[in-house]
Amino acid sequence: MLKQDAINNLRLGADQKGSSLLEVAIVLPLLVLLLAVAVDLGNACTAAITTASAAHAGALYGTANPTDTAGMVQAARTSAPSLPTLVPVATYGCECSDGSSAVGSCSIVPICAFNSIYYVELDTTYVYTPLIPYPGLTDGFVLHGKARLRAAR
């Protein structure tokens, strides 16, 4: 009987030799998918941060040159070379020092003419396309950045 138990134990050990390989074959695709999702999420976060940073860079340029909207757009694009399809839109205007009576492009003088200042605003938009297709997310998603700063008049 002892000899039969030893033979049965050997058979059980022989049956388990391929089980580790089978477990790896089942779990590995899930781990690879999880890694791909983590990399994709990291890329999306980097694109969102770069989009917001480009808006700030363009507005910062605008504080020195408030009426140069083309320069603000160029500064935003220059600060985000990794996002070639970034769409920056720059505007400027005048407002009272307390933030009221904003007038776009300073077309008319605000009511508080003796105490008005320039403001510059830059909005950036970028469409992020994921590395792997997700159900319900066909064209990617839109990331926005916005910066509004004051400039001396």
Tens digit of pLDDT for each residue in 119-150? 999 999 999 999 888 887 777 889 999 999 99
At residue 106, the pLDDT reads 83
Question: Rounded mean pLDDT of the chain?
Answer: 87
Q: Where in the chain are the domains?
A: 2-151
Read off the pLDDT of residues 102-122 as tens digits, 9 standing for 90 and up: 888 787 877 785 678 889 999
73-79 LR contacts (CB < 8 Å, sep 24+): 73/122, 76/122, 76/124, 79/53, 79/54
SS3 state at 97 = coil
pTM of the model: 0.80
The mean per-residue pLDDT over the stretch 71-88 comes to 97
Residue environment code for 19-36, b if the CB has 16+ CB neighbours within 10 A, otherwise e: eeeeeeeeeeeeeeeeee
At residue 18, the pLDDT reads 74
**Of 8-12, 85-89, 92-96, 117-121, where does mean pLDDT reach its minimum?**
8-12
Cα distance between residue 151 and residue 140, in whole Å: 36
At residue 2, the pLDDT reads 60
Read off the pLDDT of residues 57-66 as tens digits, 9 standing for 90 and up: 999 999 999 9
Ramachandran assignment for 108, one of left (phi > 0), alpha (psi -120 to 50 degrees), beta (any other): beta
**pLDDT tier for residue 4 given thresholds of 50, 70 and 90:** low
Count of other CB atoms within 10 angstroms of residue 94: 22
